[in-house]
Amino acid sequence: MSLPRIAVDAMGGDEGVRVMVSGAALARRRHEKFKFLLVGDETAIKAALDNHPNMRAASEILHCEDVVGGSEKPTAALRRAKKTSMGLAIEAVKRGDAGAAVSAGNTGALMAMSKLALRTMPGIDRPALAALLPTLEEHDVVMLDLGANTESDARNLVQFAIMGAAYARIVTGIDKPRVRLLNIGTEDNKGTEELQDAAQRLRAATGLALRFEGFVEADKISRGDVEVVVTDGFSGNIALKAIEGAARFVTDLLKTAFASSLRSKFGFLVSRPATELLRHHLDPNNHNGAVFLGLNGVVVKSHGSATAAGVANAVAVAARLLEENLTQRIAADLAELGEGRLRENGGSGGTR
């Protein structure tokens, strides 16, 4: 089965062209159907392609020398959108020259450019940033929003739940994923007015391809007893950074402990299969590829410090969402719920 090609912002991320092209090449070695539009400095991209002959026939280069800076304000980046590798990658999706865009660049700029160029889907007020996080079970958990919206009302949270469930059905294969709202407690009377309102709406909704199971506390996110965790971008980003920090703390603590004595080093050799499994499970590159849900197109954000393996995972995420028609699934779920329910208590709807 052929797929629309994927536009890669080759200039984004901490190491730019070398890692982005290597990641795309690794993805293509795993899946030969992938094709790419590599956006960035043509000379640098061609030099990188010399190390990856499997990419030559599958890639087209769109030359661009301008790059969005990692600390550049989104408003400033927007003014240069059509002159930057990030902006041109997104524009390729808008024109239909690519099915999806992947960038490891500035998150705020990527969101601003994507929203302006692609617009939100009918029935969606705001896009949300969703990512997969590891759990103790075999399936990952989808968490959103992770920073696209610092504030979200009840209507936004309901829309996030619908989008997150559609994404979870693709990655977990579960027909009705379990959805919970992130809260300071699991009791029905806990949380803000927005959380209470969103919970009431989700409990009352019928026909949705999800199971709403109330609230979840942050320490239970990775237990594996929920497929979708919904929150606003402010709380979500803090929770994500805390989870990532805890994972680094555990791995660094183990390194220190195993190096502390000769006996500890011997213990490391004995327990190495288990520690390698832990390292693999906690490695963010193995879960790389956050998705902007709710846009008229697929945009995937790779971590700026991702390795080639991490970029390959982000590319694979984009391809899978194209293959599984994520945007159409979300549209179908919104139609199932009905505009009347979503527009309860007001709201202007998605950008047309």
Smallest CA-to-CA distance from 323 within 288, 296, 298, 348 is with 298
Which residues have CB under 8 Å from 55's CB, separation 6+? Answer: 21, 24, 25, 28, 36, 49
Q: Each residue's pLDDT tens digit in the chain (352 positions)?
A: 467 899 999 998 888 899 999 999 999 988 888 899 999 999 999 999 998 988 888 999 999 989 998 888 989 888 998 899 999 999 999 999 999 999 998 888 999 999 999 999 998 999 999 988 888 887 889 999 888 888 899 999 999 999 999 999 998 889 899 999 999 999 988 889 999 999 999 998 877 889 999 999 998 988 889 999 999 989 888 888 887 777 777 777 767 766 767 666 655 555 555 555 545 555 666 678 899 999 999 999 998 888 899 999 999 999 989 988 888 888 888 887 664 344 444 443 443 3
Q: Residue 349 has what pLDDT?
A: 40
The pTM of this model reads 0.83
Q: What pLDDT score does 140 carry?
A: 86
Q: What is the pLDDT of residue 282?
A: 55
Q: Tell how many helices (H) and how many strands (E) occur in the chain.
A: 12, 11
| Per-residue pLDDT at 276 | 52
- Which domains are delineated in the chain? 1-124+294-323 (3.40.718.10), 128-291 (3.40.718.10)
DSSP result, 226-256: -SEEE--HHHHHHHHHHHHHHHHHHHHHHHH
Q: Which pLDDT score, from 0 to 100, does residue 161 have?
A: 95
Residue 148 phi, psi (nearest 5)? -75, -30
Q: 45 by DSSP, 3-state: which?
A: helix
User: Are β-strands 100-103 and 228-230 bridged in parallel, bridged antiparallel, or unpaired?
Assistant: unpaired
Tell me if 125 sits within 8 A of 348, measured CB to CB.
yes
Query: What's residue 351's pLDDT?
Result: 39
pLDDT value of position 47:
93
